[in-house]
């Protein structure tokens, strides 16, 4: 069992950019008392970037460096991890993985508001249509720990927070 020796669970919040990962993960961490980890910020602050991808308009993550940087923190438990993908993280790190999904028209509006280029919006919408991140999560972790959550509205955000809070309570009772 992944979290057998930890006092609190590690939770992965993944999804296409614009699905509400950071909003959910930050609020979850605040409400639950767990540690919030934004992998993009960790990568930038700990020099875990290996250049810039012009085509995708983003930094290139040195996955091994990120894993080394987070290993001790993740082993201790009690973390909510926020990153668009999750398949490169060690399976042992996470007790549960939530992949946020958003309707394409809503996602398009959110990415447009962020000032993403048309090409970057199209790439992210395609990723969402073909559920690339959800499929990668299902291939990388035990199916019973991967959960898809709708993330279109503020009401769904609250429902997701409630569901995850209930899960945390159950996890703590069982561990």
Q: Where are the domains of the chain?
A: 10-174
Q: Determine the Cα–Cα distance for residues 29 and 11; give it in Å rounded to an integer.
A: 10
Percentage of residues in the chain having pLDDT higher than 90? 93
What burial class does residue 40 get, using C-beta atoms within 10 Å of its C-beta: 0-12 exposed, 13-18 middle, 19+ buried? middle
* Binding site listing for ATP: 18, 20-23, 114
**What pLDDT score was predicted for residue 58?**
87
**What pLDDT score was predicted for residue 33?**
97
- For 20-37, what is each residue's pLDDT tens digit? 999 999 999 999 999 999
* Binding site listing: 18, 20-23, 114
Q: Are 3 and 74 in contact (CB under 8 A)?
A: no
**What pLDDT score was predicted for residue 136?**
97
Q: Whole-model pTM above 0.85? A: yes
Answer whether residue 3 shows pLDDT above 60: no
118-129 vs 132-140: helix crossing angle, rounded to 10: 50
Tell me the DSSP string of 107-126.
Answer: HHHHHHHTT--HHHHHHHHH
Mean pLDDT score, 16-20: 97
Tell me the DSSP string of 73-95.
Answer: HHHH--EEEE-S--TTS-GGG-S
Backbone angles phi, psi at 18, to 5 degrees: 95, 0
**What pLDDT score was predicted for residue 2?**
57
Task: Give the model's confidence band at 155: pLDDT under 50 very low, under 70 low, under 90 confident, else very high.
Answer: very high
Q: Are 19 and 101 in contact (CB under 8 A)?
A: yes
- For 59-107, what is each residue's pLDDT tens digit? 899 999 999 999 999 999 999 999 999 999 999 999 999 999 999 999 9
Task: Give the model's confidence band at 57: pLDDT under 50 very low, under 70 low, under 90 confident, else very high.
Answer: confident
Task: Give the model's confidence band at 1: pLDDT under 50 very low, under 70 low, under 90 confident, else very high.
Answer: very low
Return the CATH number of the domain spanning residue range 10-174. 3.40.50.300
Q: Are 89 and 146 in contact (CB under 8 A)?
A: no
């Amino acid at each position: 069992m992944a979290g057998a020796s930890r006092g609190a669970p590690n939770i992965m919040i993944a999804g296409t950019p614009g699905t509400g990962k950071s909003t959910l993960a930050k609020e979850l961490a605040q409400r639950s008392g767990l540690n919030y980890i934004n992998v993009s910020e960790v990568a930038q602050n700990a020099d875990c970037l290996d250049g810039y991808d012009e085509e995708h308009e983003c930094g290139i993550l040195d996955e091994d460096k990120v894993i080394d940087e987070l290993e001790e923190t993740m082993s201790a438990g009690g973390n909510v991890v926020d990153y668009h993908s999750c398949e490169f993280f060690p399976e042992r790190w996470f007790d549960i993985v939530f992949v946020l999904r958003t309707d394409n028209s809503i996602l398009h509006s959110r990415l447009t508001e962020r000032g993403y280029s048309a090409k970057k919006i199209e790439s992210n919408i395609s990723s969402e249509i073909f559920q690339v991140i959800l499929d990668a999560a299902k291939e990388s972790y035990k199916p019973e720990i991967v959960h898809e959550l709708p993330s279109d509205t503020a009401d769904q955000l609250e429902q997701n927070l409630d569901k995850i809070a209930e899960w945390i309570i159950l996890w703590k009772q069982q561990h």
